[in-house]
A = this chain, B = another copy of it.
Amino acid sequence: MYKNDFYTKEIHGNYELYDAGDFDLEDGGKILDCTLAYKTFGELNEAKDNVIVIPTWFAGTSNDYESYIGEERALNPTKYFIIVINQIGNGLSSSPHNSPEPISMNNFPKVRIGDDVRAQHQLITEKYGIKEIALVVGGSMGAQQTYEWAVRYPDMVKRAAPIAGTAKNTTHDFLFTKTLMDAITSDPGWNNGNYNSNTEVAEGLKRHADIWSVMGLSTEFYQQEKWTLFGVDSAEEFVSGFLEPFFQGMDPNALLTMAWKWQRGDVSRMTKGNLEEALGRIKAKVFVMPIDEDIFFPPRDCKVEQNLIPNSEMKIIHSIAGHFGLFGGEGSYYHDQIDKHLNELLSIAVADKVF
């Protein structure tokens, strides 16, 4: 364990903690006192059916969805009980740097998307007694968890909106994520996961950020010099002033835990590798929402999966920021698209429910 000032309420706003107990993992081992950090908005209604679950993306936290939620938005806390749950390993929930021995640092076990969703299910059923979810929505690794929710708990999930992510990770994506991981593990300061502070891995984290500068955006973002979407004035500032310090503040083992999980996201693990069968289990109404300029979760990869989901539609989001469109830097231009689709999705009656 070590203290990392990035993973605090000062940076990420308030959140609550849920202790899922000693949590057994798909790949063996367990997380002792597995803790989920989560944040809620709005009130759970009496029927306990106004629930929206939002899982977090790679290197992200519950804080990243603040701009998605509001009284004027589809994700409206005056109407819904919204619960944003931080994925295991993200630095706020149980993670390598904040876990005591015997699972501290490089002894932290391998975690799967399925582990996250089971722990999230335990949180909302045990703590809140929720039996029905109006909508699961999330971006990137949040989309992976969204798909996992819809396949694993088909009767519980009424609607699902995976944004910029896939149900089964592609080979291209696996290889991309490998370069992100190698950027960190090639730093001698990483020391096989046994460093004293993230600052000892500054060079590896910088290289990690630099790869994001290539894959996270779009060529058109650079052609049109859209730095202002991230509050900076030049490419130099965008990389050296924003992306690099952004990732350098994070915990290397946290990033590696999430990346390993991302590489292996695959709902067909529940159906012995049969993706058609897995996606065919989904009972939710699904809007598949890739971002048109996304380099590594391109719409056509998402379309292949959407074709296998019974009650689904493609809703392509436009963002010149590519995958990082998720950050919402385009403001209402981006959020209005998301809201339009989510409002439509929430208005569709599923079984006997309509909002």
A residues neighboring B (CB under 8 Å): 170-172, 175-176, 178-179, 182-183, 186-188, 203-204, 207, 210-211, 213-215, 217, 219-223, 225, 235, 239, 295-296, 298, 300-301, 304
Nearest 9 CB-CB pairs, A to B?
A: A172-B222, A171-B222, A176-B214, A171-B235, A172-B219, A175-B213, A175-B214, A182-B207, A219-B298
Q: Please report the C-alpha to C-alpha distance between residue A172 and residue B226 in the assembled complex, in whole angstroms.
A: 12
**A182 and B170 within 8 A (CB):** no
Q: Closest B-chain residue to A220, C-beta based?
A: B300
Given A220-B300, A223-B301, A186–B172 Cβ distance below 8 Å?
Answer: no
Chain multiplicity (copies): 2
**B300 and A219 within 8 A (CB):** yes
**B175 and A219 within 8 A (CB):** no
A170 vs chain B, min Cβ distance (A): 6
Q: Please report the C-alpha to C-alpha distance between residue A111 and residue B347 in the assembled complex, in whole angstroms.
A: 62
A161 vs chain B, min Cβ distance (A): 22
**A223 and B300 within 8 A (CB):** yes
B171, B179, B188, B215: the one contacting A210 at CB < 8 Å is: B179
A108 vs chain B, min Cβ distance (A): 24
Given A175-B239, A179-B210, A186-B207, A170–B223 Cβ distance below 8 Å?
Answer: yes
B175, B183, B204, B210: the one contacting A175 at CB < 8 Å is: B210
B-chain residues with CB within 8 Å of residue A304 when the two chains form the complex: 223
Residue among A178, A183, A203, A214 with most chain B CB within 10 A: A214
A218 vs chain B, min Cβ distance (A): 8
Q: Closest B-chain residue to A178, C-beta based?
A: B210
Q: Closest B-chain residue to A300, C-beta based?
A: B220
A182 vs chain B, min Cβ distance (A): 5
Given A188-B188, A203-B186, A222-B171, A211–B295 Cβ distance below 8 Å?
Answer: no
B-chain residues with CB within 8 Å of residue A170 when the two chains form the complex: 219, 222-223
Q: Closest B-chain residue to A170, C-beta based?
A: B222
Q: Please report the C-alpha to C-alpha distance between residue A222 and residue B168 in the assembled complex, in whole angstroms.
A: 13
B-chain residues with CB within 8 Å of residue A298 when the two chains form the complex: 219
Residue among A213, A220, A296 with most chain B CB within 10 A: A213
Q: Please report the C-alpha to C-alpha distance between residue A176 and residue B221 in the assembled complex, in whole angstroms.
A: 14
Q: Please report the C-alpha to C-alpha distance between residue A6 and residue B176 in the assembled complex, in whole angstroms.
A: 28
